[in-house]
Structure 1
Amino acid sequence: MEIVKEVQAQGIQNIYRRNVERVLAALQVTTDFWKVVDYSDLPVPYASAIIRALAERGLVKIENDEILLTEKGWEVIREYNIGPYKDFSCEACQGRGVPFYKNIEFYRTFVEIAKDRPEPVQQFDQGAVTPETTVSRVLHMDMRGDIEGKEIIVMGAEDDLTGLAIALYGGYKRLLIIDIDERLIEFDNKIIKELGLKNVEARVHDLRNPYTDEFLGKFDVFVTDPPETFAAFKAFIARGIATIKDHGGAGYFGLTLRDSSIFRWQKFQKELLRIGAVITDIIQDFNDYMNWGYHEETKAAQVAPVKKAPQDIWYRSAWYRIELLPGFERTNEPISDEVFYLDEEGSTT
């Protein structure tokens, strides 16, 4: 397809024919740009560049913030035999494989408590997942044997209240929740005190700073949510692995195809293998993110071919589980601010 070369000419090299086909598949069932991003599993700048290239060729037109296929666009779809986007996800578990209602009392308790949570802020690259997502995370962890009797650290991921959810669920030996956002830690500590939760501590900590001995090699399981530049991913995962006691320890985190391409996923996965981890689970679109209030201030809003903000859930991430093998690498270096800078794929911070 010539469109691929036109998109590459815009400075986006990690693009190929299948990406264009996925956008055209999505456009057969929606006119909403943000749903196109969701259905095509592409970083926002990539989907935007493809839409603009399609518009320049007259294959789509943009009217009233809707992206409409033209007759010429339909001709191309027929020529290349591109079928429409399809979704056969299980409605009961919402595609996660873990129905949140399997522990309905836990879910109801978490929803009631989470309604007063602090709002996500752009300063810390925050975005909160749905309560159903958080509860399903905890159930999945327990199903994989990573809660009962375990020492767990949740690091830099409390905008989703995953640490608090584990605290409410119980069964762990020890739980430590650390985050840079004082609001989240204050909220957690308030609930911990009110409910008299045991063997759990929440404290403010900046992950850019190396760990002291009280963190190193003291936990069985870590949970984190790394920013998605390669340098930031590498740094955050290293922080998590540094806390693990021994081989057999596990880590959990999310990775998107909204801020990263599969080319970058390849780099992520190679790094995991290099440091002695094996990927045991990847559940695509496990994490559903609620729309955040600072959308208009993001690069995503600036590069989008429409002005309309997202109305429905569109930002999703895969849920990864890794397990550490004998001889895994443990490092504990300072993290530079430079690792968090946006690149050609990231756009939502």
Structure 2
Amino acid sequence: MKHYVEEVGARVKVDEGIQVIEKLLLACYFHPGISTKELARRTFLPIPVAAAIKKELIREGALEQKNGVHCTKEANRWVERRCGYRGIDKALYLKLMEANINEAVRLPEMKVILEGLAEEFARRPQVNVQLDQSKCTPETSLRRAILCLKHHSLVGKKILCVGDDDLVNVSLGMLLQQLFPAMEVPQAQIDVVELDERFIRHIHEIADRAQLPIRCFPWDLRNPLPSEWHAQYDCFFTDPPYTLQGMSLFVSRGITALKQKKGLPVFLSFAHKSPDFMLAMNREFVRMGLTVHAAHQHFNQYEGAEMIANRSQMIILETTAVTDAQVKDAFCDALYTGEVKRTLRTYRCMQCGQEVFVGLQGEVATIEELKNQGCPGCKNDTFLMVEKRHLPPK
């Protein structure tokens, strides 16, 4: 079977990443007779670039131009076998893709998923506030799964959940089952790395009972991911501790697991923060070579999370040619909110040697803020932690 995406990607320079070629093929598969202008609109490409990709796909025997653009029989088989769309409920898929997120969640076909999620969520373990856990609603979990589908990152893909007390993996699996009613195991792989053994057992029980394509691995994200997980996944979800350290660590571990391609999505749920905090967080994104594709305010809803007004935002990031994890080694600093608030650390500037106290009781609240501000003496942004003291609780 031909490798249409790779072969065309080698001949057409696509700054957006070769995944956009697959998206263009999918648009032709689900909308036979589509115009070149509409292909450009659906793939967010300039019309000349979309036309160039179309021309090369015609040359490869994947597309044909007759009253619009159509997939050939060979390309239809490629989409179904190679991309994993064989057996999909096309009517439901198109409904979900055309509707906005809130409309999609309310579709009649989603009712059975929400009912199943409500049952499973009622049985999930109590949250551990020391790990910054909180309970998202079933509707929120399903919204995340539909968002993944809309970004062409669900069907036929390898998905990683970097920590998952929100059971997004279960929503992803149930959505796949609804989209592929005649298939026992839809063509996708959903993996979870999670520290809390209670949630690991709960996820295993759900996956076995509902026959979902989910694997769950116990792992402390303070430690680097094993090499066999590196560069394996097409996207990842994370709802990390709402500290800059937590965000940087969880996103870094996810980047390590992502395939080394441009344009792969990162689904980051994070609390609404002040402009200064968001500026520091965006600088962290830049350090990691990520770009912000979209930010949906009040996307996530939680039960009993009054500290964040029971809401958080969904930030969709995308990889670039220079994406790289900020945290690669073992992480030994404060991570969770309680740790950050009651820990005082001393950092030494690697250039001039000046020492700075970091913590809510220090000169700067977090190391990320210190790196963004630079050393008070020389403005260098690299530091070495030389001492850490845990302050007594209030």
- TM-score, normalising length: structure 1: 0.61
Shift of 1:255: 1.5
1:100 aligns to what?
105
Structure 2 residue 270 is the aligned partner of structure 1 residue 255: yes
Q: Once the two structures are superposed, what CA deviation does each residue of 1:182-211 show, in whole Å capped at 9, x if it has no partner?
A: 11110110111112223x211211111111
Matched, 1:218 2:232: yes
1:163 is aligned to 169
Which residue among 313, 318, 340 is the counterpart of 2:313? 318
Pairing 1:194–2:192 present: no
1:244 to 258, 270, 274: 258
> Given residue 221 of structure 1, which amino acid in structure 2 is its aligned partner?
C
Q: Hey, what's the Cα distance between the residues in 2 that align with 1:291 and 1:172?
A: 36
Give the C-alpha shift of residue 127 in structure 1.
0.3
- Between the aligned partners of 1:250 and 1:132, the Cα distance in structure 2 is 21
CA RMSD, 1 decimal: 2.3
Q: Deviations over 1:15-35 (max 9, x none)?
A: xxxxxxxxxxxxxxxxxxxxx
Specify the alignment match of 1:36 in structure 2: none
- Structure 2 distance, partners of 1:169, 1:332, is 33
Higher mean displacement: 178-187 or 106-115: 106-115
From 318, 323, 340, the equivalent of 1:328 is 323
1:141 is displaced (CA, Å) by 1.3
1:41-80 → structure 2 map (5 Å cutoff): none
SS in 2 for 1:245: coil
Which residue, out of 282, 291, 295, partners 2:295? 282
- Which residue, out of 135, 138, 145, partners 2:152? 145
Does structure 2 retain, via aligned residues, the 8 Å contact 1:98–1:136? Answer: no
Between the two structures, name the one with larger relative contact order (CA 8 Å, sep ≥ 6).
1
Tell me: CA distance 1:98–1:279, structure 2 relative to 1, closer, same or farther (3 Å): farther
Give 1 or 2 for the bigger CA radius of gyration.
2
* Alpha-carbon distance in 2 for matches of 1:318, 1:325: 22
CA contact (8 A) 1:98 1:139 kept: no
Deviation at 1:99, TM superposition (A): 4.1
| Pair 1:249–1:164, CA change in 2 (3 A) | same
Task: Write out per-residue CA displacement over residues 268-294 of structure 1, whole angstroms, 9 at most, x where no aligned residue.
Answer: 1122123221111100011111005xx
Matched, 1:266 2:279: yes
Give every structure 1 segment of 4 or more consecutive aligned residues whose post-TM-superposition deviation is greater than 3 Å: 95-99, 342-346
Query: Where in structure 2 are there 5+ consecutive unaligned residues?
Result: 1-99, 177-185, 342-359, 367-394
Deviations 1:235-268 (A, max 9, x none): 11111111110222211111212xx322111111
Q: How far is 1:172 from its partner?
A: 5.4
Distance 2:299 2:101 in 1: 5
Contact 1:287–1:318, Cα closer than 8 Å, also in 2: yes
Q: Which residue of 2 aligns with 1:234?
A: 248
* Unaligned segments of structure 1, at least 5 residues: 1-94, 301-312
Task: Find the counterpart in structure 1 of residue 137 from structure 2.
Answer: 130
Do the aligned partners of residues 329 and 254 (structure 1) sit closer, same or farther apart at CA in structure 2, a change above 3 Å counting? same
Counterparts of 1:329 and 1:172, CA distance in 2: 29
Check 1:337–1:273 CA distance in 2 against 1; reply closer, same or farther (3 A cut).
Answer: closer
Report how far residue 327 of structure 1 moved. 2.4
Query: Does the 8 Å contact 2:134/2:165 carry over to 1?
Result: yes
Structure 2 residue matching 1:241: 3-state secondary structure: helix
* Structure 2 CA distance for aligned equivalents of residues 109 and 263 of structure 1: 40
